[in-house]
Copies of this chain bind each other. A is one copy, B any other.
């Protein structure tokens, strides 16, 4: 069983890699090879030392021959330019998101057309496919049957790739599945160029003793999923058999990952409850019209039925999200700083 992860050294790529290297199986079969493809490979990444891992470094389109040098059974396609990048640089987004995905689909098709296995492909799409059209406001609850009318180039590129994955699948070139990711919070590490980046930053930075700016009004409601739930969902979608009934993937529609709906005010109140006033006071509210417009255009309440069929549930509360973050990243908290209130109550 050979698995490829594109964007393998991005945040989600590393989380998925870590899970797969722990279980060393996929649908009960041993993993023989885990290919991590990425433009940037951090030096000293511990994954590189694992005998299952092979690293393909460079632009994905130029690396496809190397990625497919051995037959590929499963592709988890995470590599992408993020929302704010695509809005700032249209050509970059079309190249990194549309052209790259199409080239990947073609390489997968070439493998199956020449007698190799038909690769299973998980395409990571996004909640950013949804947006309000001037003539068609979003419904109060969004599901996979809601018409996406993206309000960003990123959302358009994701939606276009979803359609290509659907057609390559219908024609039998690949066995494609689309996971529409919610905003992931709390992401560890450094801020990225996503318009939604602050939804991690307003928790992560203060916990580390750093100031953070919240660029939206606190009553804005958002749909979130923790890294744990996101990784679990991507792997569940990768492993699911097709068909109807519990645990199976029915029809060709994408799967919206299960979403926890919270307001930014509730997120900040949770931070205050967990880490105290000094930490929570590190957040400054300074609405930025552009970011508020982008993030405010995304739906915040989802019908999670389709994900539930696959056994996927949203995070139960934002307190649980923060608790997971603290458990998974104990070093991310500045213990004893004048701002931080120290380790939070583990019973939170």
Contact = CB atoms under 8 A, between A and B. Distances in A.
Contacts of A145: 136, 147
A221 B147 CA distance: 25
B150 A147 contact: no
A103 to B, nearest CB: 12
B90 A149 contact: no
A159 interface: yes
Contacts of A252: 133-135, 149
A253 B133 contact: yes
Contact of A166 (B136, B144, B156, B167): B156
Q: Copies of this chain, how many?
A: 2
Contacts of A149: 166, 252-253
Main secondary structure of the interface of A (DSSP, over half): loop
Interface string A205-224: 00000000000000000000
A171 interface: yes
A156 B160 CA distance: 9
Contacts of A167: 150, 153, 156
B160 A164 contact: yes
A251 B136 contact: yes
Contacts of A146: 147
B134 A250 contact: yes
Interface string A244-271: 0000001111000000000000000000
B171 A90 contact: yes
Contact of A163 (B156, B166, B250, B251): B156
Contacts of A289: none
A171 B153 contact: yes
A170 interface: yes
Given A133-B252, A147-B147, A153-B171, 17 more contacts: A90-B171, A133-B251, A133-B253, A134-B250, A134-B251, A134-B252, A135-B252, A136-B145, A136-B253, A146-B147, A149-B252, A150-B166, A151-B170, A156-B166, A156-B167, A160-B164, A163-B163
The 3 closest A-B pairs by CB, nearest first: A135-B251, A134-B251, A156-B167
